[in-house]
C-alpha cells in the first residue's frame, strides 16, 4: 500500500508500470555505475534500478518514507547495496560520490529549479542526469531564444548541459495525480572545450539582470554592468531584450562587462 502523500514535499508517486519501465530503460543502468536517486519515496524507481546495479545512493527528505524504504529494500537486497542519505537534497554535497556519477529521479516539482542550479555546481563530476519534471520546466530548460519559455533557466543550463526531452508522462501515471503534465529530460554535461565565460558568476549576474525585467531593453536592464554604447560596440543592439539573446551573446556581454 502507498503511504499518504505529503503536499509540502511535492509527493506524487509513480504507479504506472509501463512508465516506470520506460524510465529505467532510458536510464540504462550499468552494473558498476555510481548512481544517485533524488527523492526515492516508496521506491517505484529505486527497486528496479537496484535490480540492475551493484549499489545505489538515494537522498530522501521525508523520514517516514526513508524508514519504510530501508525496510522494503532490505527485504530484497543486501544492506551494503543501498546508501540512503536522509536530508534535503538542496543541502546535499555530491562531491563524496567521486568524479564520475549519474543522477536520476522523479523530482519534487516545488524545488526543481533550485535543485537544478545546485546540481549544476557538480557538472564536472556528473556523467548524466535523467529527471522527471513538470513539463513546463522541461520546456524552459530546452527553450530557444525568441520563445516564451526562454529564460534564465534555459541559458544557465544550456551553458553547461546538452539537454533532450525524452517523453511526456500524463498525470494518471501518478498517485495522487499532479495538476500538470510531466516530462522526462536527459542532461549531459558539455565537453570542457565548450564556449565559456571568463567568470561564471558574472554571466549569472548578467543573465539574471537581463531576465529580471523581460520586457525592458538591454540598455535598461544591464545599465549597472555595461553602458549602451559598449553593448553596441559588441555588435548587439542595446534596444533588444534579453529573450532575444543567444548564449554566445550573453557570454560576450558578461565578458565585456568585466573590462569596464
Ligand atoms: N520517486 C518516487 C516515485 O517516483 O514514486 C517519489 C517521487 S515524489 C514526486 C518526490 C520525492 O522527493 C518524495 O519522496 C519526496 O519526499 C522527496 N523530496 C521532496 N523534497 C525533497 C528534498 N528537498 N530533498 C530530498 N527529497 C525530497
Residues 108-134 have pLDDT tens digits of 999 999 999 999 999 999 999 999 999
C-alpha atoms less than 13 angstroms from C-alpha of 53 in its C-beta half-sphere:
24
Instruction: Select from 129, 156, 189 the last residue of a domain.
Output: 189
Which atom of ligand 1 is nearest to 11's Cα?
A: 8
Both 79 and 163 in one domain: the answer is yes
Number of domains in the chain: 2
Residues 147, 221 within the same domain: no
> Which residue has a Cα nearest atom 5 of ligand 1?
13
pLDDT, residue 1, reads 80
Confidence of residue 259 (pLDDT cuts 50, 70, 90): confident
Tell me what pLDDT residue 188 has: 98
Structure confidence at residue 27 (pLDDT):
98
Residue 226 in contact with residue 253, Cβ under 8 Å?
A: yes
What value does the mean pLDDT take over residues 83-92?
98
pLDDT tens track for 212-229: 998 999 999 999 999 999
How far is Cα 28 from Cα 50, in angstroms, rounded to an integer? 12
13 with 49, same domain? yes
Residue 113 in grid coordinates: 529549479
Please indicate, yes or no, whether residues 105 and 42 belong to a single structural domain of this protein.
yes
Judge whether 217 lies within some domain. yes
What CATH number is given to the structural domain containing 20?
Answer: 3.40.50.150
Pair 143, 17 in one domain: yes
Mean pLDDT of 137-157: 97
* 137 and 28 co-located in one domain: yes
Judge if 151 and 86 occupy the same domain.
Answer: yes
The mean pLDDT of 161-183, rounded to a whole number, is 97
Checking if the pLDDT of 9 tops 80, the result is: yes
Ligand 1: residue of 39, 104, 119, 184 to mutate (most ligand atoms within 8 A of CB) is: 39
User: Whole-model pTM?
Assistant: 0.95
Q: What is the mean pLDDT of residues 50-64?
A: 98
In 3D space, the residue among 47, 45, 40, 32 whose CA is nearest the CA of residue 66 turns out to be 40
Q: Mean pLDDT of all residues in the chain?
A: 97
CB count in 10 Å sphere of residue 157: 22
CA of 197 to the centre of ligand 1 (A): 34
Task: Write down the residue that cell numbers 565578458 correspond to.
Answer: 255
Q: What contacts 246, CB < 8 A, 6 or more positions away?
A: 145
pLDDT at 52 over 80: yes
Q: Which of 162, 189, 216 is the last residue of a domain?
A: 189
Same domain, 142 and 215: no
Q: What average pLDDT does range 230-247 have in this prediction?
A: 97
Q: What pLDDT score was predicted for residue 190?
A: 97
pLDDT for res 260: 61
Q: What is the CATH number of the domain that holds 235?
A: 1.10.8.100
> What mean pLDDT comes out for the span 75-81?
97
Q: Based on the domain organization, do 90 and 132 belong to the same domain?
A: yes
- For residue 239, report the distance from its CA to the centre of ligand 1, in Å: 43
Residues near ligand 1 (Cβ within 6 A): 9-14, 39-41, 44-45, 59-62, 65, 88-90, 106, 108, 111
Domain that holds residue 228: 200-259
Amino acid at each position: 500500500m502507498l503511504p499518504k502523500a505529503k503536499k509540502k514535499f511535492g509527493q506524487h508517486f509513480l504507479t504506472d508500470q509501463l512508465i516506470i519501465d520506460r524510465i529505467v530503460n532510458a536510464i540504462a543502468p550499468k552494473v558498476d555505475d555510481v548512481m544517485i536517486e533524488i527523492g526515492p519515496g516508496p521506491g517505484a524507481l529505486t527497486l528496479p534500478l537496484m535490480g540492475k546495479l551493484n549499489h545505489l545512493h538515494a537522498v530522501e527528505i521525508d523520514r517516514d518514507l526513508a524508514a519504510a524504504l530501508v525496510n522494503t529494500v532490505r527485504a530484497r537486497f543486501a544492506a551494503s547495496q543501498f546508501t540512503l542519505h536522509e536530508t534535503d537534497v538542496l543541502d546535499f554535497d555530491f562531491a563524496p560520490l567521486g568524479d564520475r556519477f549519474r543522477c536520476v529521479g522523479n523530482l519534487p516539482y516545488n524545488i526543481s529549479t533550485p535543485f537544478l542550479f545546485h546540481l549544476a555546481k557538480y557538472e564536472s563530476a556528473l556523467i548524466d542526469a535523467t529527471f522527471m519534471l513538470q513539463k513546463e520546466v522541461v520546456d524552459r530548460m530546452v527553450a530557444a531564444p525568441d520563445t516564451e519559455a526562454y529564460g534564465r533557466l534555459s541559458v544557465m543550463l544550456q551553458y553547461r548541459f546538452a539537454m533532450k526531452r525524452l517523453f511526456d508522462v500524463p498525470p494518471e501515471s501518478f498517485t495522487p495525480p499532479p495538476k500538470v503534465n510531466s516530462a522526462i529530460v536527459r542532461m549531459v554535461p558539455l565537453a570542457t572545450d565548450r564556449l565559456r565565460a571568463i567568470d561564471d558568476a558574472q554571466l549569472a549576474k548578467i543573465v539574471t539582470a537581463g531576465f529580471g525585467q523581460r520586457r525592458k531593453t538591454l540598455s535598461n536592464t544591464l545599465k549597472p554592468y555595461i553602458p549602451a554604447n559598449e553593448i553596441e560596440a559588441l555588435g548587439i543592439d542595446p534596444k533588444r531584450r534579453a529573450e532575444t539573446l543567444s548564449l554566445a551573446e550573453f557570454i560576450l556581454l558578461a565578458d565585456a562587462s568585466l573590462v569596464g
